[in-house]
Structure formats: C-alpha cells, structure tokens
C-alpha cells in the first residue's frame, strides 16, 4: 500500500554557470510529493493506515519545509553561490546548503535521503519546480 502527501514551499536559488536564464537569482513555489509504502497497521489507533497523514506531515515539515521555505538554496561547493549565502547569513537571513547544484534532481534525492535517515519508510519523492517540470527519486528495492 502507498500513501502520498503533498507540501509546498517557496525558495530562491540560482544555477551558477547555467547557459540560460536560470543563472540569475530567482524563486520557485516548489510542490513536494512524498510517497510512503508499507503494510497496514492491523490494530490500535493507526489501524487501517500505512502511516498517519498527521505523522507524515510532522516529519516532512520539520525536516524539509521548515528548513527550505523562504530560504536561499545554494551549492555549498560553489564559490559565487557561497558568497551570496554568506552575505545573507550576515544579515540573519535564511539559507540552506546542498552538496551539489540546486537542481530539482539533486533536491529530490536530497529530500528522499533526509526523510529516510529520519526513519520514514519513504519510497518516492517528486519535486515540482514549476507547474510543468518535476524530478522524481525513488527506491523501491530498498
Ligand atoms: N533538468 C533540469 N533542468 C533545469 C532545472 C532543473 O532543476 N533541472 N532548473 C532550471 C531553472 O531552475 C529554472 O528555474 C527552471 O527553468 P524553466 O523550466 O526553463 O523555467 P520556466 O519558468 O520557463 O518553466 P515553465 O514550467 O515552462 O513555466 C532550468 N533547467
Ligand atoms: Zn530555478
């Protein structure tokens, strides 16, 4: 059985070195879909559920949404993106580092791994960067 819960968050970023408009600072309203798989609880307060939607929401909110919403997402290994992040942090503004370029692909995998590390039985993460473009990362075979 699978359940999916959807979230949104707003972030800014740029893709330094991109050969198009995305080299410029810009923002997205990201739409995040998190899929969790498992068998149903057979009894107790969670009977008939793979996971309580409320519990799923709490983990994703704490681990992803609260950290990335209204933050500048940047590549920790890119000098120019770090310079912007340092400036913002000096003004006590919110930033969020990734280990690679902040593409939808890198972010969907990063979010998957964050949630997996917190013990969530996540099987798929789909991250919409625009209403027309998404990246998906899944691990169905463990
Ligand atoms: N494979 C990827 N390609 C691009 C990514 C990405 O994460 N993965 N990201 C960007 C930029 O961040 C850009 O913001 C999105 O570009 P684009 O789709 O061209 O933007 P639009 O606003 O024109 O999108 P529409 O959905 O067509 O409105 C670039 N490429
Ligand atoms: Zn973008």
Pinpoint the alpha helices (H) of 91-131.
Answer: 104-117
Check: complex ipTM more than 0.90: yes
* Distance from residue 25's CA to the centre of ligand 2 (Å): 8
41 is in an annotated binding site: no
Count of domains observed in the chain: 1
For residue 120, what are the β-bridge partners?
A: none
Q: What is the pLDDT of residue 50?
A: 98
Full residue range of the structural domain in which residue 59 is found: 2-138
* Residue 8 pLDDT class (50, 70, 90 cuts): very high
Tell which atom from ligand 1 comes closest to the C-alpha of 15: 12
**Cα–Cα distance measured from residue 138 to residue 130, given in angstroms and rounded to the nearest whole number:** 20
Write the pLDDT tens digit of every residue in 100-114.
999 999 999 999 999
CATH of the domain at 93: 3.30.479.10
What mean pLDDT comes out for the span 12-31? 98
Q: What is the pLDDT of residue 35?
A: 98
Write the pLDDT tens digit of every residue in 59-102.
999 999 999 999 999 999 999 999 999 999 999 999 999 999 99
* Distance from residue 91's CA to the centre of ligand 1 (Å): 29
- Candidates 130, 131, 134, 137: which one to mutate for ligand 1, based on the most atoms within 8 Å of Cβ? 130
Place of tokens 């998906």: 136
Are 101 and 81 in contact by the 8 Å Cβ rule? The answer is no
């Amino acid at each position: 059985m699978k359940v999916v819960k959807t979230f949104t968050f707003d972030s800014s970023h740029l893709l330094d070195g991109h050969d198009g408009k995305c080299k410029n600072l810009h923002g997205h309203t990201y739409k995040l879909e998190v899929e969790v798989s498992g068998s149903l609880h057979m009894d107790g307060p969670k009977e008939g559920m793979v996971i309580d939607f409320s519990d799923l929401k709490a983990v994703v909110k704490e681990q992803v949404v609260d950290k990335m919403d209204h933050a500048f997402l940047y590549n920790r290994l890119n000098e120019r993106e770090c310079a912007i992040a340092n400036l913002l942090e000096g003004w006590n503004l919110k930033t969020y580092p990734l280990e690679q370029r902040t593409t939808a692909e890198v972010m969907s995998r990063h979010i998957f791994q964050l949630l997996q590390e917190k013990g969530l039985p996540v099987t798929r993460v789909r991250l919409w960067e625009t209403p027309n473009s998404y990246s998906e990362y899944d691990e169905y075979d463990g």
